[in-house]
Structure formats: C-alpha cells, structure tokens
Structure 1
Amino acid sequence: MNITIVRSLLLASVCSLALLSGCSDKPEAGAAPSTSSPAVAGTAPSAPTATTVTDATAPAYEATLEQGIDFSKLGYPSFLKDMSGLSGAESWGRWTDANLGASAQFHFKNALPQQFKLILETRDFYGINAGQKITVRVGDKQQEFSFDSVDHIQHVELTFADVGTTNTIEIAVPKHSEPSATDSRKMGLGLVSLKIRQ
C-alpha cells in the first residue's frame, strides 16, 4: 500500500514538472527560436522612410531680382512663387525637362517691372538645339536667342519693355533629348542663372 502511494506521488510530481516545463519562456534545447513578434504577421518592421526634399518643401533663400535665381540651389529665391518645367538642381544648374512641362515657367510673387533686362546663363544639351530659336515670353512680349557654341555656358541679355502687369517668365525650348534606360528626363536647355536688371 505504501509502495503504491509513493508511486502515485512520484507520477504526480513528474506530470507536474512536465506541465511546468511547457509553460517556460525559454525554448527547449535544440528548438528553433520563435519568429513571432508584435508586428503584423508576415511583415518585417519597416525602416524609416527617407524624406525627399523638393523645391516646394525646401526653405526659400534670400535674393533680389538683380541677384536672380541660382539654379544650382534647391528651393526658390524669396521673390519667386514657384517654377515648373525644370528638373532637379545639379552642381551647375538645371535642365528644362519636357516631362515636367511644355516650357519652363517662373511665377514671381509680384508683378515684374515694366521695363527690364533679362540676363541668362545657359547651355545646350549636347547641341540638340544648335541653330534653333529659344523663345522667351514675358506677358505678350517675346524675344528669341540661339546658341553660338555647344560646349560652353552662353551669356544672353534680352531687353523687355511695356510688359504690362504680368508676373510670369516663360522659356520655350524646341528640342529635348529622348529618355534613356538610365535617365527618363527629356532635357533641352540648361539654366545656370536668371537675373533681372532695371
């Protein structure tokens, strides 16, 4: 009788230990670690997303009309409301991009002076606009220029008078590059700077 009681007690102890070991937080030796996490099943924790800075979100930089637009800078000068038809800033300036607009447009916060000289520093995209007319419009006034050389930055001065109450300058480029496997832009005119002198 005593032996039976002892066996029963031993059996009960072994069962209790087996149950307790199943409740342990530690994995059994040789068992694969758990892959469950507080995250949603089947998804990995996401990495922080990088914030892309664009001209619309970049802070404006202080400049006068005479100091003009430095196209190598990200963002707009303080006198400019926005611009369109241009690719992102590079170390030298920006290309017009036909994917982003049929022409490059610059919208100023205030009306432009009635009479001024527009000074541009430009370059052509590998000569695709050699002999072509680049058209610059201010209100209902229009001027044109062409490239005299492919491989250098060209200084252009255009005089505008009686432009009305417009606040927009538009530059239309006749030809743009074809997109490639490594660059989807349609580049035409390189803009280094744009200045307005009265």
Structure 2
Amino acid sequence: MSDPNSLVFIVDDDDHVRRALSRLVRSAGYRVEAFQSASAFLGGADLSARPACLVLDLELPDKSGLELQRELNAVLLPIIFITGHGDIETTVDAMKAGAADFLAKPVCESVLLEALERALVRSSQVFQQACEVARLRERVDRLTPREREVLALVVTGRLNKQVADDLGIAEKTIKIHRARVMEKLEASSLVDLVRIADKAGINVPGHRV
C-alpha cells in the first residue's frame, strides 16, 4: 500500500463529478485537493511536498488536459485521465506522454481506486529517490573545492599517489583529504563513494571500482 499521507489532486470543471471524486478518494484514506480548472490547479497546487498524483479531466474550460499534461511533464506527477469524450488517438497521445491511466466516465470506483494505488506507489518511489538524492547532495555540499577534486579523481579508481601527482600535492595530504571526503559523505568504502557521486550527479566519466 502507498503512504496514506499521499495527496491526490483532482481537476474537473463539473462540480458534481469533482465532489463525488473527492468523497471517494477521501474514503480510501487519502488527502484530496480539488480544482475546477487547469489555471486554478497551476496557481494553487503544491507539487513538491509529498508523493502525489493527479486525476485530470480531459476537457477543461481554460485548457485541455493534454495541454496541462505537457506543462507538468518535468514535475514527474503521475496523471490519471478521466473523460466522457475520449477517442483512441487522444488516449494514445496521453499514454505516450506518460499518463498513468486513461479512464472513461462514468468512472468505476474500484477501477479508479486501483489506478490511484498504482500511481501513488509509483509517485512514492520517485519521491523517495528524490529525497535520497537531495540528502546526498547536501553531503557533497559539505566538501571544500579541493576535496571535490580529490573525490572526482578517487572515484575513477586512481590511487592516492596518482591523485597526488595529478593535483601536484603531497600523497600524505591526499590521504587527509580522502579521509575527510569519506567522513563528510558518510561513506565506508570506494564503492560507497562511487554510488554517492553517481546519485548526486557528479560527473565522473570512466570510473572503475
């Protein structure tokens, strides 16, 4: 099961549908925020706080659901489309753009809840990965410029003596820097250093362990 603190956004301009969907989602134990238009959603939704997904009507008064999907692609927010006017071409376009599901109105409650569970599990995984990357980058930010240089060379598999030659400083100084890098990054081995550098987005081409 996904985290019950996960948030479900609903965007539908039909008041009756929006209220009915909100009641259903709350009955499943999730938090809900509902909006009547794409503009209201973009202006009022916090997309960074927790795992979330979006139940999105295809036809909206200000812009289409597909247009909103294109604006949100960089956010990695799973989207479940619901529509009473869908066609095969539109469905294919939505799924190619990364939609989690495409459901026809009137939506079967059990089908929607299953789709929500899948989308929120997916969102939770992405959210956890993002949190881990943020924590690792915080550790990397503790490093001095020289320690960053040492890290970039160490994770390529170079020995302390080789790193010292590359940087033009004493080998014993490299050992001190390396120990500080290990401590600040909370790493116990070279494998840990490589993993942290990779996940934190540090460019270390051609590394070997």
TM-score bucket (shorter structure): under 0.3
Tell me which protein shows more helix as a share of its residues: 2
Compute the TM-score of the two structures, normalised by the length of structure 2: 0.21
Query: Which of 1 and 2 has greater Rg?
Result: 1
Compute the TM-score of the two structures, normalised by the length of structure 1: 0.22
Tell me which protein shows more strand as a share of its residues: 1
The answer to which structure, 1 or 2, has the higher relative contact order (CA under 8 A, 6+ apart) is: 1
